[in-house]
Amino acid sequence: MPAMELSNSNDNPAEQFKIEANEAFKAHKYSHAIDLYTRAIELAPENAVYWANRAFAHTKLEEYGSAIQDATKAIEINPRYSKGYYRRGAAYLAMGKFKDALKDFQQVKKICPNDPDATKKLKECEKAVMKLKFEDAISAPQSERRSVADFIDYRSIEVEPKYTGARIEGDIVTLDFVKAMMEDFKNQKNLHKRYAYQIVLQTREMLRSLPSLVDISVPEGKHFTVCGDVHGQFYDLLNIFELNGLPSEDNPYLFNGDFVDRGSFSVEVILTLFAFKCMSPSAMYLARGNHESKSMNKIYGFEGEVRSKLSEKFVELFAEVFCCLPLAHVINEKIFVVHGGLFSVDGVKLADIRAIDRFCEPPEEGLMCELLWSDPQPQPGRGPSKRGVGLAFGGDVTKRFLEDNNLDLVVRSHEVKDKGYEIDHDGKLITVFSAPNYCDQMGNEGAFIRFESPALKPNIVTFSAVPHPEVMPMAYANNFLRMFS
């Protein structure tokens, strides 16, 4: 299938907008491409190509809900238009809705029986659905499952004499060890499984004891740094520490979810963040993002990377530890920090968030889902999510939530921003995203926010991507997903 449907003529204004949109798409300016496709659609709403092309641009921005809507519209206009089914199937795949995707690719195959590309993708999708059915069939009910951590004794694992990497002496994770480990990772060396188990198990114990909403106190004269999504971009994480100093009790950080997936150095990122948590719990705070979940890790590369660099047992262990991550933080009773956003109902209090039983995979609705998945919108009120999960919420929703809980500001992450950050809702909401040149193609800056106590005025620092070894993003992702991206 060609990447983008091209125009036959540029005689009319709608076609001209499409040509410009295609150029913007090729330049990775997906938001601008969407605006231009929208203008083409406004002039010629019955042109299925414009809807399918806009669906593809939405997919590139991870707006899978909007992509499905647009592709569905293309199919309604022309039920024989294979590209409509193709785009919708790809969006369903990206959301982990394999059965829905399979139906659409079967339709593509029916319309284009001799297309080898359609045949290949249908086979990949069929394999993925069969694999999921098999995994569901052999998995034990939740109530009968024992923690994988109960079966791991890291002290009994021998470290071979030939191992020359970083070592933990005894039970204490020291700064010297973390520095040595980061240097090894920088040189693409793996950490010994014994020490990886030790870090992950110690972090699990710490996270299990925390509430679902964690209060952070920043003393007067001290500062605190909030980072957004890092998404497996280890070399950019090192750059954050270069710019802002290593985590310590005097230089504490909160990483606001989505540590893993997409980028192909997710193991290095998660072990570094967890090691700092072990070294000094008050130097490193960690929140759950929507990508700290089995379904996302299965699709977007973390699961495959863990298998490649560590082992199958670590896949289960990380899934378990991710269920222990807190869902939100409050800094000095004034700043609410969460990965995604706010809620489908008014009147949610901090006590309601504290009361969430978070020790599970994220549900598809409810407070926990919305904390991890929701996004702000410019217009007031609430609307459907562009992602197809969670919701979009306006400035009035943000204002009411802050007033109800005597808070001043919402800080959230979850969305790529050109400058690495964006301030919305009359200054009451800041999005911070810390993965510059996301997926090696978005060209965005990264950012982090430093808050100085007692004023807690946000000081936003932006930075550019740094070079990394030639390992593509999504290098460990499922074959079938890479085929559609």
Residues labelled as active-site residues: 291
Contact 265, 308 (CB under 8 A): no
Angle (nearest 5°) at CA 364 between 377 and 226: 55
Q: Alpha-carbon Rg of the chain, whole angstroms?
A: 23
For residue 362, whether the previous peptide bond is cis, meaning omega lies within 30 degrees of 0, is: no
Q: Exposed (0-12), middle (13-18) or buried (19+): which is 467, by Cβ within 10 Å?
A: exposed
Distance, CA of 88 to CA of 48 (rounded, Å)? 13
At residue 209, what are phi and psi to the nearest 5 degrees?
-85, -5
Residue 60: which of 441, 370, 340, 406 has the closest Cα?
Answer: 441
430: tokens are 């800041």
Contact 374, 364 (CB under 8 A): no
Angle (nearest 5°) at CA 133 between 130 and 138: 125
AA identity, residue 226: V
For residue 454, whether the previous peptide bond is cis, meaning omega lies within 30 degrees of 0, is: yes
At residue 112, what are phi and psi to the nearest 5 degrees?
-120, 70
> Dihedral angle at the C-alpha atoms of 316, 320, 321, 325, nearest 10 degrees?
140
At residue 26, what are phi and psi to the nearest 5 degrees?
-60, -30
Alpha helices in 310-431 (DSSP H): 312-322, 350-354, 367-373, 395-404
Distance, CA of 59 to CA of 251 (rounded, Å)? 38
Query: How many C-beta neighbours within 10 Å does residue 429 have?
Result: 24
Alpha-carbon distances, residue 390 vs 66, 365, 382 (angstroms): 13, 7, 11
